[in-house]
Structure formats: C-alpha cells, structure tokens
Amino acid sequence: MKLAILDRDGVINQDSDQFIKSPDEWRPIPGSLEAIARLNHTGYRVVVATNQSGIGRSLFDMATLNAIHDKMFRLLGHVGGRIDAVFYCPCAADTQCECRKPKPGMFLDIAARFGIDLAGVPSVGDSLRDLQASAAVGAQPILVKSGKGRRTLEAGGLPTGTLIYDDLAAAVRAWTGA
C-alpha cells in the first residue's frame, strides 16, 4: 500500500496564528486539493495528522472540527480527491500527551491502523514539529514553504534528509511525476 501523511493547516489549507476556528476560516491553498486528488489517482491513500490544540484551549469544539473537516472532504470530492483518515491531537501545547507532534504518537497510531511500516512514507508538514514526528518513525520528512514553512526553513535544524518544496502541489509532482 502506498500511503502519504499530510499535516492540515499550512499544507492543505491556509494557516492562521489565531487558529482555524470555523469552516468559514478554512480555505484551501491553491492547488492543494488537486494535489491530493493526484495522489489518490496514482494509488496513494492519504492520511491527515494534525495538532488541533484549539479544542484543548476551548477555542472551538468537536462539532466545529467535524464541520471544518466536512468542508475539506466536500471540496476534495469536487476535484475527485479523498482523505482516508484524519488523526488529530486535541491537547493544548502545554500538555505532555504522546500524540501531539513532535511526539510520534499519531504516527504510531497511523501505522497500527493501516498495518504499515512508515519507513520512507512521505510525510508533509510546514513546521519543525511535523518533520520531527515524521523522522521519529522513519517516514520521509517533507517541508513545504506554504503556511509556516518559510519560517521553519529559515530557523533551520531540519531533520537529516528533509526534502523541501514550495507547496503540496510541487511536492506531489516531484514524488509522483503526475
């Protein structure tokens, strides 16, 4: 099975330092939905792994998170794409949970759920913590410069072997040739 792991905010949709707190605030990055559809059409299953501390901070609730994801799924469907699963950590940043990136808990859950070794699996993020979680399980860390990616790149300290692309569309073109 071919699998790709994507962070959500800053990779699939526009990010905000104030969090994405409603479906109206969720806006896809140009080309990202089509890139996911290309992944699907070339045989990839696509999984989202996202920290959603806005829940732990009481900025929005589970019903709102589900409505945001429903919008994402609906818009993806319009371009022939799909996401096979969404894994999220609702914990606030100051908690010590194992699922919040940079810890690898979500990635270990993905491996268990799909019955796959994540070694070499492309894992796309825009923050250092996304890349660190990827590297911790042997996945291929991929930094996109969208979202917080440019700041992440400038700060340095990326895991060894991190690939860097302008955005999700460029990353998908590079690794699928599509």
Which entry of 7, 126, 130, 167 is annotated as an active-site residue? 7
Whether 7 is a known active-site residue: answer yes
DSSP-assigned states of every residue in 39-65: HHHTTEEEEEEEE-HHHHTTSS-HHHH
First to last CA, the chain: 18
Residue whose C-alpha is closest to residue 35's, from 143, 177, 169: 169
Q: Which of 9, 15, 130, 167 is catalytic?
A: 9
Strands (E), 81-139: 85-89, 122-125
Cα–Cα distance for residue pair 144/173, rounded to 1 Å: 13
Question: Which residues are the active-site residues?
Answer: 7, 9
